[in-house]
Amino acid sequence: MTAPDLISPASAAFSRRRFLEASAVLAGALGLPEAATNEAAAQQKPAGGTPPNPPGRPHPLDPLTTEEIVRAVEIVRKTRQVDDTWRFVTITLAEPHKPAMKTFQPGGRISRAAFVIAIDRTKGQAYEGTVDLIKGSLERFDPLAAGLQPAITLDEFAECEEAIKKSPEFLAALKKRGATDVQLVMVDPWSAGTYGTELAADNGKRLSRALAWVRTEANDNGYARPLDGVVAVVDLNKMEVVRVEDYGVIPLPPEAGNWYRSYQKEFREAPQPLDIVQPKGPSFAVDGYEVAWQKWKFRIGFTPREGLVLHNISYTDAGRERPIIYRAAICEMVVPYGDPAERHYRKNAFDIGEYGIGMFANSLEMGCDCLGTIRYFDARMNDSKGQPVTIKNAVCVHEEDVGILWKHTDWRTNQSETRRSRRLSVSFVATVGNYEYGFFWYLYQDGNIQCEVKLTGIMHTTTVAPNEKPEFGNLVAPQLNAPFHEHIFAARLDMAVDGDENSIYEVNTVSLPAGSSNPYGNAFRAEQTLLAKESEAQRSVNGASARYWRIVNPNKKNRIGEPVSYRLIPGENAPPFVRLDAAVMRRAGFIAHQLWVTPYDPQQRYAAGDYPNQHPTGDGLPKYVTADRNLVNTDLVLWYVFGHNHVPRLEDWPVMPVATLGFQLKPDGFFERNPALDLPPAEKG
């Protein structure tokens, strides 16, 4: 990710990275030239147009530079005699451990290292290692345990489709279904997972269970016509089709589902222009990857796996910079589908752990994805040959007006005050096959922090026979079924509420029973319970008791003598509807509860473990908490799990309107009073 460039609406050069078409060459798909939307825009400075690597020593939390990626690959190749048959899955910053960062001073020297995951395709063996970029040495390079597979790479997407289209078995399956032009077939290489039903011959192989759709012409929406019943199982190391599973021919759905503008026959009257203008520039300041805005300060990071990461979130109160969160990211997600049919039951994608959602980041466009005066950050990662890859404008930072922040009118004195609320938005959008996921972090002037995930794109589809009504989905067009499914996300929040020593309480509002303490039946109160160890801190949301959780610092008191704290408040949520003994729960055990709390451990970064792809037994939170560690007055990590239950509608086809879900962190006794009381009145226009 490069240092950012400030883009105004008048001077933006629009660019867009489209999702990788599996038949395209990866380098071309990720390195698309910027496309100016008009002659004037083409003459302007491109978004993210700062030098590739800003001068000076990188901050320890800055993403790797292009030169550092190249250097890490060179060191691995030289030290381990790695040739071109290997794949480099990940080359990313090996973040310094928290204790080292706590003593770091600007301008100081600290270890700078790269974390590398690579696969020896010839031997079918994956490795993870650490490269010391200052010493120029490979500090470790360890083989992964048997059965563990790194995430599927973008190169493998393209190569997998190419291999499938050459398979005689696959071509025969197409012919049975009347699909004669293989070039109109599109393939999504889904992860293979583990379900206890695998063939012995598949053991140890790096697999994909690829699904296919067919277009009627080059720009057609292929998801309107699933080649249902055809699953190509591919060995990704050998890039060979192991077998094609054919579950029977179902006629293709008859209707197109095209959504692109050229297919739209007529448009409604366009709304009048809405200009967001900041003639004096934005209210935020950027120094490298550090952003300061309205008493807030934080650092932006980006990883191929998680995408956007926020570091060192703090708020300046009465001249003192007070920490709130050390590190925040969406660390895992899973999309379980509810159809038990033989050809469908393995569909539950871990889009973060099995693919790496950062690698699918879009190049955001001014006026479409973002409005206003924007700071963009580029993301710098690698392809599987170890070559640097740049996704321009991957992260967007801008301000938004969000209505009233606070207001009161005193009808006796005629005093009236209103303050409008402005928030800072930090976001990125990823396209994973058919779906788009937008990840937004908002900071508010009153100390609130909000995380919002936006879901849009095209639903996964299957085919049903004519006149058949699906049992585990809804028809969205004739013979076209959109299965019931969930999108379940896990946020990892490394908390630091006024310091690292925190405790966690659950708060439930309860009605008092009838009696002397509640003679009129109207009494209720909020009751809080300390969650003292990991076994006590596996909790679920409960709307009936308005449940939330308080992260307190017992060592810091506010002016009424209570510990300072922040509340974690659930937003939209739904429990998992797969049974707890379902095969997918071996890898997605984190979805069994909406709240987990663990002590800080730098090795515990992901809710489903480091390598959920084909993991034979499962890993992550259910294993982390078996130690039942102390959670009182210690360095805490909160894992909040939130899900959207998608029962498809006709209105969701062919492109679904945005659905949103998320959570909030709100100050609770952290400040002495409303921290936005000092916000000056707006100039009346």
pLDDT over 70 at 16, yes or no: no
pLDDT over 80 at 36, yes or no: no
List the catalytic residue out of 351, 446, 652, 668: 351
Model pTM score: 0.92
CA distance 2 to 63: 8
pLDDT tens digits along 549-578: 999 999 999 999 999 999 999 999 999 999
pLDDT over 80 at 15, yes or no: no
pLDDT at 2: 55
In a domain, 77, yes or no: yes
Q: Do β-strands 524-530 and 548-557 pair in parallel, antiparallel, or remain unpaired? A: unpaired
Q: Which has the closest alpha carbon to 568: 547, 553, 598, 554?
A: 547
Torsion of CA 202, 203, 206, 207, to 10 degrees: 30
pLDDT at 31: 34
CA distance 552 to 566: 7
pLDDT at 26: 34
Q: What is the CATH number of the domain that holds 421?
A: 2.70.98.20
Q: Which has the closest alpha carbon to 62: 121, 23, 7, 104?
A: 104
Cβ proximity of 551 and 497 under 8 Å = yes
Q: By mean pLDDT, which of 11-20, 352-361, 403-412 is the weakest?
A: 11-20
pLDDT over 60 at 396, yes or no: yes
pLDDT over 70 at 34, yes or no: no
The mean of the pLDDT values for the chain is: 91
Element (H, E) at 73: helix 66-80
Q: Do β-strands 473-477 and 480-483 pair in parallel, antiparallel, or remain unpaired? A: antiparallel
Task: Give burial (CB, 10 Å; 0-12/13-18/19+) of 521.
Answer: exposed
- List the domain range (segments joined by +) for residue 556: 290-459+486-648
Element (H, E) at 621: helix 621-624
Among 143, 163, 187, the domain boundary falls at: 143
pLDDT tens digits along 435-455: 999 999 999 999 999 999 999
Q: Which has the closest alpha carbon to 186: 156, 159, 231, 223?
A: 223
Q: By mean pLDDT, which of 47-61, 209-223, 671-685 is the weakest?
A: 47-61
List the catalytic residue out of 127, 315, 435, 566: 435
Summarize the confidence of residues 216-232 as an average pLDDT.
95
In a domain, 193, yes or no: no
Which residue type, as a one-letter code, is found at position 110? Answer: I
* pLDDT level of residue 1 (50, 70, 90 thresholds): low
Annotated active-site residue 435? The verdict is yes
pLDDT tens digits along 584-631: 999 999 999 999 999 999 999 999 999 999 998 889 999 999 999 999
Summarize the confidence of residues 643-647 as an average pLDDT.
98
Q: What is the CATH number of the domain that holds 110?
A: 3.10.450.40
Q: Which residues of 252-291 are buried (b: 16+ CB within 10 A; e: fewer)?
A: bbeebbbeeeeeeeeeeeeeeeeeeeeeeebebebeebbb
pLDDT over 70 percentage in the chain: 92
Name the token pair of 159: 């190569």
Cβ proximity of 667 and 450 under 8 Å = no
List strand residue ranges (DSSP E) for 176-270, in order. Answer: 185-191, 207-214, 226-235, 240-246
Which residue type, as a one-letter code, is found at position 100? Answer: A
Number of domains in the chain: 2
Summarize the confidence of residues 97-125 as an average pLDDT.
91
Summarize the confidence of residues 360-384 as an average pLDDT.
91
* pLDDT level of residue 366 (50, 70, 90 thresholds): confident
H-type alpha helices, 90-167: 98-102, 154-165
* pLDDT level of residue 56 (50, 70, 90 thresholds): low
In a domain, 654, yes or no: no
In a domain, 397, yes or no: yes
pLDDT over 50 at 25, yes or no: no
Summarize the confidence of residues 532-547 as an average pLDDT.
98
In a domain, 681, yes or no: no
pLDDT at 132: 97
* pLDDT level of residue 482 (50, 70, 90 thresholds): very high
pLDDT over 90 at 40, yes or no: no
Summarize the confidence of residues 99-108 as an average pLDDT.
85
Summarize the confidence of residues 348-377 as an average pLDDT.
91
In a domain, 247, yes or no: no
Name the token pair of 662: 């998320």
pLDDT tens digits along 176-209: 998 889 999 999 999 999 999 999 999 999 999 9
Q: By mean pLDDT, which of 19-23, 35-39, 650-654, 676-680 is the weakest?
A: 35-39
pLDDT at 616: 87
pLDDT tens digits along 496-513: 999 999 999 999 999 999
Summarize the confidence of residues 512-526 as an average pLDDT.
95
Which residue type, as a one-letter code, is found at position 173? Answer: A
* pLDDT level of residue 37 (50, 70, 90 thresholds): very low
Among 143, 173, 202, the domain boundary falls at: 143
In a domain, 29, yes or no: yes
Residue-by-residue DSSP string for 628-677: --B-SSB-EEEEEEEEEEE---GGGSSSEEEEEEEEEEEESSSSSS-TTT
Helical packing angle, 154-165 and 168-176, nearest 10°: 70
Summarize the confidence of residues 386-415 as an average pLDDT.
96
β-strand partners of 569: 664
Among 143, 159, 179, the domain boundary falls at: 143
Annotated active-site residue 520? The verdict is no
pLDDT tens digits along 582-593: 999 999 999 999
β-strand partners of 636: 599
In a domain, 398, yes or no: yes
